Structure 1
Amino acid sequence: MKIVKTILCTLFGLMFINAGLDKFFHYMPMPELTPEMIKLYEAFGTLVWLMPLIAFIELLGGLLFIIPKTRALGAIVILPITIGIIIHNAVFMPEGLAIAGPFFLINLWIIVDNWPKYKPMFS
């Protein structure tokens, strides 16, 4: 089971590192955008600090998620991003839930697996 967790967490982390790097260097092709999504991206573009912040969080969270000692912190850091991805896909690209859903579940699995580390924050 440990090897499965290591492989999934490494892939999870690398996916977020890749997504963060793409926000800085724009090397992955953009999918065909609907007029509604074009409006959304234009709105995001007016907030010049938003995409670099998301990219930084994806990079940091992805790196932390890969390293077993920092995985619990990485899971919490990346959680708001995975929630945003789930909501975005549910509203704009339901076909993307096939990928976003398992990633969200991996994130939740690691949080549940590390729950004793978070418990002091709630007591």
Structure 2
Amino acid sequence: MITKFNTGLQLLLGLAFVVFGLNKFIGFMPPPELPPAAGAFMGALMETGYMFPLIAVTEIVAGALILSRMFSALGLVILMPISVNIVLFHLALAPAGGVPAYVLAGINVYLLFIYKPKFDSLLLPK
């Protein structure tokens, strides 16, 4: 059941990932200070030349799908691996800045649960 509360969470999650995805291209928010291991990891991702643009485009597309409200379930599924990796990054390498990541991942899980009826046919054995 989609309520105003759930719609608000969709808007928050979708906007957050569209903004953070765009920031990877435009750089309108300064990067946070990271511990050395976290900085090395992020530097390695940037050095590949393709990983940051791939993550950014995925965040923008998934965020836009969530905001569209027509394809929210698809956007939530696409976004889940990114949410999990962001949480694991903060747990393992940068715990001090993890609260926003945990909140957004929690919203993602909650909304996936709300949209569970859309996935029921995918979860049935053949």
TM-score, length of structure 2 as denominator length: 0.89
Contact 2:34 2:94 (8 Å CA) reproduced: no
Shift of 1:98: 1.8
Q: 1:38-67 CA deviation, whole Å, 9 max, x = no partner?
A: 311221122111111100110011011112
**Unaligned 5+ residue runs, structure 1?**
none
Give the structure with the higher percent helix: 1
The equivalences for 1:3-18 within 5 A come to 3-18=4-19
How many residues were matched structurally?
Answer: 123
**Root-mean-square deviation over aligned CA pairs:** 1.5
1:103 match:
104
Contact 2:62 2:76 (8 Å CA) reproduced: yes
Are residues 1:83 and 2:84 paired? yes
Give the 3-state SS of the residue equivalent to 2:28 in structure 1: coil
**Counterpart Cα distance in 1 of 2:114 and 2:34:** 37
1:19 match:
20
The equivalences for 1:18-37 within 5 A come to 18-37=19-38
Give the 3-state SS of the residue equivalent to 1:69 in structure 2: coil
**Counterpart Cα distance in 1 of 2:112 and 2:39:** 34
TM-score, length of structure 1 as denominator length: 0.91
Q: 1:73-122 CA deviation, whole Å, 9 max, x = no partner?
A: 11101001100110011112223332112211111111111112112223
Say if 1:75 and 1:15 are closer, same or farther in 2 by CA, change over 3 A: same
**Counterpart Cα distance in 2 of 1:30 and 1:107:** 23
Contact 2:38 2:94 (8 Å CA) reproduced: no
**Counterpart Cα distance in 2 of 1:14 and 1:113:** 19
